[in-house]
Amino acid sequence: MKQQRVVVLTGAGISAESGIRTFRDNDGLWENHRVEDVATPQGWAADPGLVWRFYQGRRRQLHEVAPNPAHLALAELQQGVEDFVLVTQNVDDLHERGGSEDVVHMHGRLETLRCEGSGRSEHRMEASDMGDEFLTCSCCMEPQRLRPDIVWFGEMPMQLERIYEAVEDCDVFIVVGSSGHVYPAAGLVLLARKCGARTVLVNADAPQNLDAFDEVHLGKAGELLPGLVSGWLSEGA
Ligand code: NAD
């Protein structure tokens, strides 16, 4: 695999062993909230206080969790492969803290907040940024309210052009910890396959789009990935 072009797509499952809950593990609820209430523009318009407090909770949680062996294994894979792109649906920072570089966060990030006026994102992880009160931006003359820098359902994922280009050109496409429910991320494996890539899945259980994979490894990412990565890096090609 060393000389091949590799794209990895991760989902909430890769962070599950670090203690961050996924969506689907809990009857479609995210930390006891309906996804429509906390992860849509309509939810923000209806009750911004609830949505703000929800994401402030997710942001504070980043201080309590650490990368697990699956995050570390992907950082090792990146070091060993010439052409590598890591795309994540996750909004946490565990890939970066596990050593991965240049991670493409297609659904946004928790460490940044976005100005509702200008649309600019700013890094806001000081202790004074973590409370339940709304925060304002530092980019506008008259400071505007900040919103979570998250791609909600119904909004356009980030860096799609770069993602499609990488997927169309790759030789190997690996998905880790994703249920295959959320589009367009779930459709990337079909694009990779159509373009001739070998498709590989590492997931706790069979996802919705199981048929799209050439190679399937069912189990916990933190237990499976370190061994798989060692094997891939010792492959001849
Ligand atoms: P999902 O919650 O829909 O599915 C998670 C998948 O991971 C499931 O198929 C489950 O079987 C699998 N899984 C659970 N534990 C695992 C483990 N230890 N090892 C391997 N697989 C495991 O997640 P999704 O497909 O990423 O889509 C949900 C959306 O939720 C994403 O858009 C994401 O932005 C958001 N989200 C992000 C986080 C995070 O940043 N950590 C957490 C929850 C939800």
Q: Is 15 in the pocket of ligand 1 (CB under 6 A)?
A: yes
**Same domain, residue pair 75 and 85:** yes
36-91: per-residue pLDDT in tens? 899 999 999 999 999 999 999 999 999 999 999 999 999 999 999 999 999 999 99
**Same domain, residue pair 134 and 193:** no
**Same domain, residue pair 57 and 131:** yes
Residue-range definition of the domain harbouring residue 55: 21-64+108-150
Question: Would the pLDDT of 26 be above 70?
Answer: no
3-state secondary structure at position 60: helix
Last residue of a domain, which of 150, 184, 202?
A: 150
Which residues in 171-190 are b (16+ Cβ under 10 Å) and which e? Answer: bbbbbbbbbbebeebbebbe
CA dist 199 to 142, 168, 233, Å? 50, 12, 16
* Cα–Cα distance for residue pair 11/133, rounded to 1 Å: 29
Confidence at residue 229, expressed as pLDDT on a 0 to 100 scale? 97
* Ligand 1 atom having least distance to the Cα of 91: 40
Q: Just list the catalytic residues.
A: 107
Last residue of a domain, which of 150, 172, 206?
A: 150
Q: Is 54 in the pocket of ligand 1 (CB under 6 A)?
A: no
In this structure, what CATH number is given to the domain that contains residue 129?
3.30.1600.10
**Same domain, residue pair 118 and 184:** no
Strands 29-30 and 33-34: antiparallel
CA of 14 to the centre of ligand 1 (A): 7
Q: Is 16 in the pocket of ligand 1 (CB under 6 A)?
A: yes
**Same domain, residue pair 181 and 208:** yes
Q: Is 179 in the pocket of ligand 1 (CB under 6 A)?
A: yes
Give me the chain's average pLDDT, please: 94
149-181: per-residue pLDDT in tens? 999 999 999 999 999 999 999 999 999 999 888
Q: How many domains does the chain have?
A: 2
In this structure, what CATH number is given to the domain that contains residue 71?
3.40.50.1220
**Same domain, residue pair 28 and 100:** no
**Same domain, residue pair 180 and 220:** yes
**Same domain, residue pair 11 and 57:** no
CA of 219 to the centre of ligand 1 (A): 14
Confidence at residue 184, expressed as pLDDT on a 0 to 100 scale? 92
CA of 222 to the centre of ligand 1 (A): 14
Instruction: Return the bridge partners of 125, or none.
Output: none
Confidence at residue 35, expressed as pLDDT on a 0 to 100 scale? 85
**Same domain, residue pair 44 and 143:** yes
Confidence at residue 28, expressed as pLDDT on a 0 to 100 scale? 61
**Same domain, residue pair 196 and 93:** yes
